[in-house]
Chains A and B, each alone.
Chain A
Amino acid sequence: MKKFGNFNIAALVIGFSFLYIPIILLILFSFNESRLVTVWGGFSTKWYGELMHNQGIKDAAWVTIKVAFISSTVATLLGTIAGIVMTRFGNFRGRTLFSGMIYAPMVMPEVIIGLSTLLMFVSLAIDRGVLTVTLAHITFSMCYVAVIIQSRMSSYDDSITEAALDLGCTPFRTFMLITFPIILPAIVSGWLLAFTLSLDDLVIASFTSGPGSTTLPIKIYSMVRLGVTPEINAVSTILVGLVTVGVVTASLIGKRQKQQLAQS
């Protein structure tokens, strides 16, 4: 392995500081004894305790987890189907258009997605609540799952499916016994990604949520408008922790799968 030069080390430190100093500060001040956010008053975990007594934050957290869980599960189901279909049907007419349409929400401004889903719910006279946030989250996170599944399927040897059929397995059983277990890691990492995306979404949720369906990011945002408190730091730290766990797990699964593929 090549040794790190001084320049490389400097570049690394500056780059990572730029990225992570704000978050590290936030985490640090969540353990601040003082009520003043920017003045260090000693180490304490009392703000985490305070959270437990804040009914508003607890409600928002519950809504967020509920929405994230349901939306990521449904998005994974739909995204998996889309990803498999896009690879399995090869080159049909209009394929580029279809795959482009699956990926489009990834680059679409969130404001637009939020606004358009809001308009749809209003025109369908659906009251804004947990349901609408969940539906909107399914819409935008499904494409991320589809991308993950499609990239997994592109390295999937179709003759494995054919071998199972050839050995007397029905097409449905072949999917359940062969295809599904093989692509399961990709499905899990797709689910984790969809879960974290839903967890930290503010823009789309703020368009589609109604009274009683305030998610944690919305709650934090509205609390900040009344001034930053150490409580906000604490709840944000928890959120950062959750998202980190989700993303790291997803990428570890992906890495392990790549190694297995390389070996086989």
Chain B
Amino acid sequence: MTETTTTEPWLDSNQKPYIQIVNATKKFGNFTAIDNLSLDIYKNEFFSLLGPSGCGKTTLLRMLAGFERFTEGRVLVDGEDISEIPPHLRPINMMFQSYALFPHLTVEKNIAFGLQQDKLPDNIINQRVEEMLELVELTDFAKRKPRQLSGGQSQRVALARSLAKQPKLLLLDEPLGALDKRLREQTQFELMDIQEKLEVTFVIVTHDQEEAMTVSSRIGVMDSGKLIQVATPTQIYEAPINREVADFIGDVNIFKGIYKGQDEKGTQLLSEDSKSIIYATQKVDVPVGNRIWFALRPEKLEISKKLPEVDCNILKGKIEDIGYGGSFSTYHVKLENGRQLTAIRANRERTAEHHLTWGDEVYLHWVPHSAVVLLS
């Protein structure tokens, strides 16, 4: 089969999804953890399920692994319905949040465990274990027991163990949650490299939106057992479909108001905060007078002491708080009506030429193109 390599298979209607979750529902007693959820994931994708705790993302992952039964619906891998197959017979492996290494077995025996269950000959097992140890750079630690490993090393053993059987699909439950920030960032790139090298489809569960943005081909934002938006990291960040997604992914300033129609500058919103008309380029298709929202990322809000030389989208306020973050600073600006907005500015100048300080009267401004119009 000649597969045309496309970086965005979900846009190509000729591409067949590799994992198909069809109308999945999971109930625990009266509680609905997963609510009629459908999702297609393509081969070699690095798909993230992102959501607040209790949103059902881990339950969905456990349903894919076979640890939770479907109340309704089914899941297909490569066209084959695996909903009724018990976990130990599924062509899927999982990396657990706690790593779940077998404490009484050495690193190499941990990695070999899955291969031994398949009754593979010893020389093949040894070779595969060797490869995996090399992949995660733990060759020198082969004879150690899990309790003699650091957190980062344990994480890599868990990864190697789950990849050793060359699964069709690898599930990762908060794989980096237990690592410190520096190690986590480094490991994110390692994960991406490994995923590319081995061409395994990854589905990862995380509550860390930065992590999801960094590693994923696509992100599924979940809440209350439903998928709210499935899109690429850029789309999720730049074009969230509602306030919930906008708020969950990164910081955002939301302007509430009434839709006043379109003109040459774009969509008009009568802001509740400034009592004036503000603009966004994006067009909407709702009746005039409806309640709509503008979402504006803090880095798209320009902050200055001088009145900007533009004809729209200027708000006046006072600096309440400054968070110095080294490469950038975060400013909390209070508008005249008491509403607080967040603006981020890169610290390009080392000197204090453009110095802004507490209590300064400032102007906030954005180009209409930067704002996203939200209908809910």
Contacts and interface: CB of A to CB of B under 8 A. Distances in A.
B368 interface: no
A84 interface: no
A239 interface: no
Contacts of B93: 166-167
Interface stretch (B45-53, B94-102, B203-211): B94-102
A222 interface: no
B147 A264 contact: yes
A164 B102 contact: yes
Nearest to A171: B88
A160 B165 contact: no
Given A166-B93, A168-B114, A168-B118, A182 B104 contact: yes
A178 B118 CA distance: 16
Interface in A186-222: none
Interface string B103-128: 11000000001100110000000000
Interface in A144-183: 157, 159-160, 162-171, 173-174, 178, 181-182
Contacts of A174: 88
Contact of A162 (B100, B113, B161, B165): B100
A123 interface: no
A159 B88 CA distance: 14
A48 to B, nearest CB: 42
A260 interface: yes
B104 to A, nearest CB: 5
B236 to A, nearest CB: 29
B98 A157 contact: yes
Contacts of A173: 117
A182 B103 contact: yes
A178 to B, nearest CB: 6
B358 interface: no
A263 interface: yes
Contacts of A170: 88
A178 B102 contact: yes
A94 B47 CA distance: 42
- Output the residue of A164, A166, A168, A173 with the most chain B CB within 10 A: A166
Interface string A9-20: 000000000000
Given A181-B104, A182-B104, A263 B113 contact: no
Interface string B125-162: 00000000000000000000011000000000000011
Nearest to B62: A162
A74 B222 CA distance: 51
Contacts of A162: 65, 67, 87, 94, 96, 100
B89 interface: yes
A166 B146 contact: no
A170 B118 CA distance: 11
Contact of B117 (A157, A169, A182, A263): A169
Contacts of A169: 88, 113, 117
A255 to B, nearest CB: 16
A147 to B, nearest CB: 23
Interface residues of B, number: 28
A167 B67 CA distance: 13
A171 B117 CA distance: 12
Q: Which of A163, A170, A173, A182 has the most CB of B within 10 A?
A: A163
Nearest to A169: B117
Contacts of B113: 164, 167, 169
Q: Which of A160, A164, A167, A170 has the most B CB atoms < 10 Å from its CB?
A: A167
A160 to B, nearest CB: 5
A181 B145 CA distance: 14
Contact of A160 (B66, B89, B100): B100
Contacts of A160: 100-103
A170 to B, nearest CB: 6
A142 B147 CA distance: 32
A166 B91 CA distance: 9
B96 to A, nearest CB: 4
A82 to B, nearest CB: 23
A166 B94 contact: yes
A169 B117 CA distance: 6
* Most chain A beta-carbon neighbours within 10 Å: one of B66, B97, B100, B113: B100
B88 A157 contact: no
Interface string A247-264: 000000000000010011
Nearest to B112: A167
Contacts of B92: 166
A178 B113 CA distance: 10
Nearest to A167: B114
A67 to B, nearest CB: 33
A196 B6 CA distance: 70
Interface of A: 157, 159-160, 162-171, 173-174, 178, 181-182, 260, 263-264
Given A166-B93, A171-B88, 17 more contacts: A157-B98, A157-B100, A159-B96, A159-B97, A162-B94, A163-B96, A163-B101, A163-B102, A163-B161, A165-B87, A166-B94, A167-B93, A167-B117, A182-B102, A182-B104, A260-B147, A264-B147
21 contacts: A157-B100, A159-B100, A162-B65, A162-B96, A162-B100, A163-B94, A163-B96, A165-B66, A165-B67, A165-B86, A165-B87, A166-B66, A166-B93, A166-B94, A167-B93, A167-B165, A169-B88, A169-B117, A173-B117, A178-B102, A260-B103
Q: Which 8 A-B residue pairs are closest in the complex by CB-CB distance?
A: A167-B114, A168-B117, A264-B147, A163-B100, A159-B100, A263-B147, A159-B96, A165-B87
